[in-house]
Structure 1
């Protein structure tokens, strides 16, 4: 049966409600301070992300910057709220509130860390890849879209509320929008590379279980087997070629193998107290 995400506006969970409330409240406060309070721009600048400030020990900035929107553009605030809400209720329902919030926080942080990591890895002019002050939830939105598409590969969602696309197609649509951020960098206040950090987080931490957790469990199982000296589990079943004859045509798939349990039961004497027999 074809699954669809309808326009019935799914009810957000407590984690998504808190996230939308924080983003909305900060958006209004920073707009008021930025436009009407003398020196109010310092409030916005204290929460935004810049490479120099983070390297000087202000490590909270990669997280708080993901909660900010453009203080002089109402459209950016509304777009962020809608995109955070669009697919998040399904993820929070599947994962629970705390895993959903950890996922969003990891995407926000890693998006900015990726942009700043490029600065450190390739010094000299690389800050043209992002503005001096970075902010916005683009990495979190990309991560949510990627995670949802992985969990709902066969489901259908209406892009822009009228274009039907499957979850598998939505994965590549998300990648396409990230690539458009390179073509139009002025529309990406997070920096053109931050959404790709969100894509990576969505691939690694999305899914049930996630790829990162699968790798962790395999490493843990290997360490436990090495500690107790147990043989490793083969990745594929051993070949039985040449070890047994194929079943005859028309022969039953299952056979009854007689054991010695019946003989043992006949020799046993019934208990005198039969209250615990069953």
Structure 2
């Protein structure tokens, strides 16, 4: 196991991650979602009251049962064009919490978690629709975003956060509020005493459940990408003559020495906290981070 994959490089105190932080996947997901939203706006047909983009990407149990399984992922990148706060709040929460979860788990794992959370929330949504015998169309990243918030809260339940003009509140109370407001509307729905009020609480709850089991069972999804990469590499390829490489033992020794030094610094953080580092040690970690991203 490499030093950058060890648990204590990501989760060593109760105040959230700070070293090796990255937000590239978070930014990319936001850019794709906003791009899809713009496409929805430009293809909106007032006569039909819908957009061809929404028609082909939104989720319904009927369409999935017809074989249109892509909707279990694509619906998470669509949002209501008549309610701009739908995408606004989802993107704000994704920006606030997505970057922190991405810095904890790494880009590949965070990407797989996000897509899997969308998939799980979609399965839950169509499962509820089939159970209550209704046909509705579901759109939005809320299920995956709720999953991200819950996952971060499971790691740092006592971390205080600021919500608008409210005083600081511990993240665990925010998580409890999300769970309660997602679960009880489903109870009322199954009891026949009301719908979901235009909000897919079933998708929210699916994302929450997935996040809980992901954390509890310490699932890791990035190896799935390695599997597909391995499958691609196993396909027959034209053989090319490999270019000659000059062996530089000094460069290998330098990299090895840096790895050893970073290893000891991360262990120091794990045992004594981030505040125990000197300025020189912080610069060493930053240099290692730059080299890692440059690979």
- Do both share a fold (TM > 0.5)? yes
Q: Is the 8 A contact 1:16 1:85 kept in 2?
A: yes
Offset of 1:83 from its aligned partner? 1.7
Offset of 1:176 from its aligned partner? 2.8
What residue ranges of structure 1 are gaps of 5+ in the alignment? 6-10, 215-278
Q: Is the 8 A contact 2:87 2:140 kept in 1?
A: no
What residue ranges of structure 2 are gaps of 5+ in the alignment? 1-12, 189-194, 221-295
Aligned to 2:197: 186
Matches within 5 A, 1:218-257: none
1:205 aligns with 2:209: no
SS across alignment from 1:59: coil
Q: Is the 8 A contact 1:31 1:72 kept in 2?
A: no
Cα deviations by residue, 1:95-141 (Å, 9 ceiling, x for unpaired): 00111111111111111111222344x3xxx144xx61111111112
Aligned to 1:69: 79
**Higher Rg:** 1
Instruction: Give the root-mean-square deviation of aligned CA atoms.
Output: 2.7
Q: Give TM-score, length-normalised by structure 2.
A: 0.60
Offset of 1:169 from its aligned partner? 2.0
Equivalents in 1 of 2:198, 2:63: separation in Å? 23
1:50 aligns with 2:56: no
1:174 aligns with 2:178: yes
1:114 aligns with 2:124: yes
Q: Is the 8 A contact 2:40 2:52 kept in 1?
A: no
**Equivalent residue in structure 1 for 2:112, among 79, 88, 102:** 102
Q: Count the aligned residue pairs.
A: 197
SS across alignment from 2:69: coil
Offset of 1:59 from its aligned partner? 0.7
Equivalents in 2 of 1:119, 1:76: separation in Å? 21
In structure 2, the CA distance between the partners of 1:70 and 1:148, relative to structure 1 (3 Å rule), is: same
Higher percent of residues as helix: 2
